[in-house]
């Protein structure tokens, strides 16, 4: 338990200090996020011009803080590195690197889309399958479809089927978090709920191996999740409205990948859509908007603007009201997921 505390506290402190330093260093160098005034369909976006000049790429602080918190916590006796968690961190770094390249291109080109945005989906999909393949090849990860544990429902997917399934989960979650990252503190606050949930889930797996024995090194996964929770806390201090720094794609892709990998490694695949329920709503609103727009010959739209948080902004909600209410929605989704998990846990332990 002390290692969990260490990883989260160290990550929070380093993330706060790192975000503060990055905000000032990047502002001096003019590394700010370009503000989109119109979207691809020439729709006017919410008025965010006051955010012009706000530095981006703050996700570097999140990733660095989580990694440092995780590593330092392993100085304690009995806390061991697992190949599964190391692969998870490698995958997070890979996806974050893709996001960092895109962020740098956006800043240099002074536009809201990176120079290779048309290829970004293909590149992140390939990276997602690479992460999933590594987990299958180099670890003893369970390849059954799962809700709260490996044997429920316990449908065997096989190595190939699980790799495809896991790759799609990683890709979808990373991009869903990226879509959610459109308002100050929205993505980092929602992700914090998710990491807290996964810390508890992994720790429960460690404490009750008779129920969750198929999880590989659950305590190390709990430390991993706690480190990201702490990193989100430290970053949120600087990212809360009005934000002094944005996380950028480097942070959004890293956070999304970490959440997806935690669901895969803790055998809670089907619980992830609830734990990341807000992200599902956000990316779902984009899909619905595009579907309705194309089905009506580019004449009608379901929302004023997507993702759906912009719809409420254009309806007259202040940005802070949208953020706080969406945090509440995220919290309700996570609470529901944990309720399902605890109900099953109680039933299994009571047998």
Task: Give per-residue pLDDT as tens, 20-48.
Answer: 999 999 888 766 666 655 554 545 556 56
For residue range 102-143, list pLDDT tens digits in order: 998 888 877 666 556 678 899 999 999 999 999 999 999 999
- Contacts for 82 with CB less than 8 Å, ≥ 6 apart: 216, 217, 220, 221
Which range among 47-56, 151-160, 291-300, 337-346 shows the weakest confidence by mean pLDDT? 47-56
Which two three-digit tokens encode residue 313? Answer: 């902004």
109 vs 19, more confident: 19
Helix (H), strand (E), coil (C) string for 152-163: EEEEECHHHHHH
Task: Confirm whether pTM is higher than 0.85.
Answer: yes
pLDDT of the residue at 42? 47
Sequence-ordered list of residues with C-beta below 8 angstroms from that of 284, at least 6 positions apart, any chain: none
Counting residues of the chain whose pLDDT is more than 70, the rounded percentage is 91
Using alpha carbons only, what angle is made at residue 281 by residues 275 and 287, rounded to the nearest 5 degrees?
135
């Amino acid at each position: 338990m002390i290692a969990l505390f260490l990883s989260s506290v160290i990550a929070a402190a380093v993330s706060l200090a790192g975000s503060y330093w990055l905000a000032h260093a990047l502002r001096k160098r003019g590394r700010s996020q370009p503000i989109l005034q119109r979207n691809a369909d020439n729709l006017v976006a919410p008025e965010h011009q006051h955010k012009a000049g706000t530095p981006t790429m703050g996700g570097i602080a999140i990733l660095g803080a989580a990694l440092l918190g995780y590593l330092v916590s392993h100085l304690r006796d009995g806390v061991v590195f697992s190949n599964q968690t190391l692969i998870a961190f490698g995958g997070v770094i890979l996806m974050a690197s893709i996001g960092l390249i895109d962020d740098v291109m956006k800043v240099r080109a002074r536009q809201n889309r990176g120079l290779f945005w048309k290829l970004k989906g293909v590149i992140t999909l390939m990276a997602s399958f690479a992460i999933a393949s590594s987990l299958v090849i180099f670890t003893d990860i369970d390849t059954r479809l799962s809700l709260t544990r490996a044997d429920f429902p316990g449908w065997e997917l096989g190595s190939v089927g699980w790799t495809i399934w896991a790759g799609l989960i990683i890709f979808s979650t990373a991009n869903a978090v990226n879509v959610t990252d459109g308002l100050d503190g929205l993505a980092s606050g929602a992700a914090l709920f998710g990491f807290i949930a996964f810390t508890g889930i992994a720790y429960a797996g460690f404490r009750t191996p008779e129920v969750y024995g198929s999880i590989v090194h659950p305590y190390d996964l709990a430390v991993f999740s706690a480190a990201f929770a702490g990193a989100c806390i430290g970053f949120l201090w600087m990212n809360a409205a009005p934000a002094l720094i944005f996380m950028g794609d480097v942070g959004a892709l890293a956070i999304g990948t970490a959440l997806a990998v935690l669901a895969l490694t803790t055998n809670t695949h089907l619980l992830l859509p609830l734990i990341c329920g807000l992200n599902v709503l956000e990316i779902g609103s984009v899909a619905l908007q595009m579907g309705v727009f194309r089905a009506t010959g580019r004449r009608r739209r379901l929302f004023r603007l997507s993702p759906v948080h912009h719809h409420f902004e254009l309806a007259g909600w202040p940005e802070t009201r949208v953020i706080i209410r969406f945090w509440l929605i995220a919290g309700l989704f996570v609470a529901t997921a944990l309720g399902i998990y605890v109900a099953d846990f109680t039933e299994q332990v009571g047998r």
